[in-house]
Amino acid sequence: MTTEQVTAIEWCIYKKIPFFVFKDIYHKKILFSAAPSALDENMPEPSRGFFINSFATPHGQNIWIPFELSAKDVLDRRKSLCGYTGADIEPWRESTGHDTYINKVSALIDRLKTAPDEKTVISCTESIYSPEWPLASAIDRMFSISREICTFAFYHPKTGFWLGATPELLLHHDIKKDIYLSYSLAGTQTNDDTEWSKKNSREHNIVTRYICDVFDRFEIPHTTEIDDAPYGGFHHKLTRIAGTGGTASFFEILDALSPTPALCGFPKEQALNDIAEIEDHPRRCYGGYVGLRDNDTETAYVTIRCAQNLGSYYTIYGGGGIIGLSDAEEEWDEAMMKIDTVAEIMNL
């Protein structure tokens, strides 16, 4: 990031001015915008801008931060700019306990043993107190080391401060060519493992089948391509699903996709009930999506590998898919590995 961008972010944090920072494979240049207009409850949906979706909510509740002020604009007008003056949204400040997780997930696995086609994604949190590492520095570091994935940070009074680096593309739309692309990203193992286990393959297939069914529902002819997606010391099983045309808008398709079985489970209603019963923490933005719409593309990524911040506190989220073949201790280790990777990226 440029010094100007970092300084503008510091000023937006201080003044609590809505802003976003964004970079992905379609926008390799780091994009920044601050938008005091986003504080207006009656602001119409912009034609171009950054959007934020909370877990399991329809796109009509999305929060938008339009392209408005560049980093230079912020610094030139820093004395006159006004931000939010209300109370901040506090991050969840409790870390998930090992024994509680094991007991609840073990009971879930026992139920899922009799339901081989079902899956539930259970997340954990870790709250980190890091008084010597300010948010702007964490954002700068994250953007400097994240490669070939979507890296983002944002603030809005309705969400608080968030940052993350997600490998999971939910939906990309090339507007001019009318081409859609989605990732089925499910199944996790260390880089030392060379063969996918039966558990990981079954978990992945549930997600792939779900996304393909959504494409079929909206009459989007599609093809699939299987690959691996590395992330830190582990990698995910990846299927790219690409298609053209269809009968729905970008956000209508997002409503059908999100949350996919990769972040919620399947069947969706049963998985949502499991999550409400097992998780003590609010997911908020975790498991929803963030994205960008410009003149040529509409792109949304699942909000994973992320943290919410307030002052010196960072709450990191991580999770994994639970099926009847799962082992509770292994699932705990996977979730902690994901959380530790995010903490390392942010230097916490």
pLDDT at 312 over 90: yes
pLDDT at 36 over 90: yes
Contact 326, 206 (CB under 8 A): no
pLDDT, tens digit, for every residue of 263-304? 999 999 999 999 999 999 999 999 999 999 999 999 999 999
CA dist 149 → 25, 137, 342 (Å): 7, 19, 13
The neighbour count for residue 58, using CB atoms within 10 Å, is 12
pLDDT of residue 211: 98
pLDDT, tens digit, for every residue of 121-154? 999 999 999 999 999 999 999 999 877 899 999 9
Q: Pick the closest to residue 139 from 256, 7, 40 (CA basis).
A: 7
Contact 133, 321 (CB under 8 A): no
The CA-CA-CA angle for residues 245, 246, 252, to 5°, reads: 125
CA distance 195 to 197: 6
Q: Where are the beta strands (DSSP E) in 24-149?
A: 31-34, 49-53, 63-66, 119-129
Those residues whose C-beta lies under 8 Å from the C-beta of residue 327, and which sit 6 or more positions away, are 109
Helices (H), 77-225: 98-112, 135-145, 198-217
Q: What are phi and psi of 277, to 5 degrees?
A: -80, -35
pLDDT of residue 231: 83
Q: What is the pTM of this model?
A: 0.96
Residue listed under structure tokens 């899956």: 119
- In this prediction, residue 188 has a pLDDT band, given cuts at 50, 70 and 90, of confident
Contact 155, 12 (CB under 8 A): yes
**What's the chain's average pLDDT?**
96
Q: Terminal CA-to-CA distance of the chain, rounded, Å?
A: 19
pLDDT at 193 over 80: no
Q: What percent of the chain has pLDDT over 70?
A: 100
pLDDT at 177 over 80: yes
- In this prediction, residue 235 has a pLDDT band, given cuts at 50, 70 and 90, of confident
pLDDT, tens digit, for every residue of 65-103? 999 999 999 999 999 999 999 999 999 999 999 999 999
pLDDT at 229 over 90: no
pLDDT of residue 174: 98
